Amino acid sequence: MTERTFVEYMVSDPASGPYAITTGPDSALWFTLVHSGRIGRLVHGQEPIHHQLARDSGPTVICTGPDGALWFTQYRAHRIGRITTAGEVTEFPLPTEECGPFGIAVGPDGALWFTETAADRIGRITTQGSVTEYPLPRTGAFPSAIAAAQDAMWFTMNQAGAIGRIAMDGRITVHELPTDAAAPVGITVAQDDTVWFTEIAAGQIGRRTPDGQIIEYPLPDRKARPHAITTDADGSAWFTEWGGNRVSSITGDGIITIHDLPTPASEPHGITVGPDGALWTALETGALARLAPAPAVTETTNSAVPTEKRNLS
């Protein structure tokens, strides 16, 4: 039996700040370098490529668009960016000044939906650059990450202790969390419409079932500061522990598996399933870390031994 461990690949100097990461339409990993104002591209086994933006633009979250390009938020420049796989960049100004765009994801309507942290709005931009903004029913909510469901978008309201749902017609519904001041950040939606999210201040993972039940799972380390989250093909949710120097997974029945990162204080942020089926995370140290897929289980071979497994349901 083989223990799964992370392997790190340096993609920048530590001061550049790798932040979010996604799998591009060209089967490469694309990532943001928030502090140096760059977009990076990595093919496993090759040298990384960087595309320079304005240094103070603050590229933050990145996703693959419906048009075969990558779309990203510019938190400090208050713009939405688009970059082709060939490196051609287009930038779109937003109607609300100093709005602080952060999360971004493709919606079921084929548009890009994003959060405006400083303006308490959800934005929508078409691939042609037409922008619509939808005010939240609360002020000071600090909407953060956003993810697509089959017929709507789900987003976290970091300072409101809630998650929100916005329909394609702009109608917004707020869902309170059981734990006060949980400060949700990352959010993802599984194929069965289960919504998973991180509670960075509470040290918990939240789960909203398709029938509307919200369940919270305390982490073994309540100071781990869970940050970004994604799901794999099996429906498990994987998340980064920014304060715990770990990446962990959780199943629908509450089983948590923990994987330590090899470099101390590496501060993992974004996470994605890579084109190779491995888990990849972006580290503040200037690296991307890769966790190889679990070996297939056969009648004569046991599955990989996790770093730690606990049932917290």
Active site residues: 269
88 annotated binding-site participant: no
216 has binding-site annotation: no
Is 267 annotated as a binding-site member? yes
DSSP states of the chain: --B--EEEEE-S-GGG-EEEEEE-TTS-EEEEETTTTEEEEE-TTS--EEEE--TTS-EEEEEE-TTSSEEEEETTTTEEEEE-TT--EEEEE-SSTT--EEEEEE-TTSSEEEEETTTTEEEEE-TT--EEEEE-SSSS--EEEEEE-SSEEEEEETTTTEEEEEETTS-EEEEE-SSTT--EEEEEE-TTS-EEEEETTTTEEEEE-TTS-EEEEE-SSTTS-EEEEEE-TTS-EEEEETTTTEEEEE-TT-EEEEEE-SSTT--EEEEEE-TTS-EEEEETTSEEEEEPPPPPPBTTBPPPBPSEEEE--
Q: Report the binding-site residues for substrate.
A: 227
Which residue ranges make up the annotated binding site for Mg(2+)?
Answer: 267, 284
Annotated binding site: 227, 267, 284
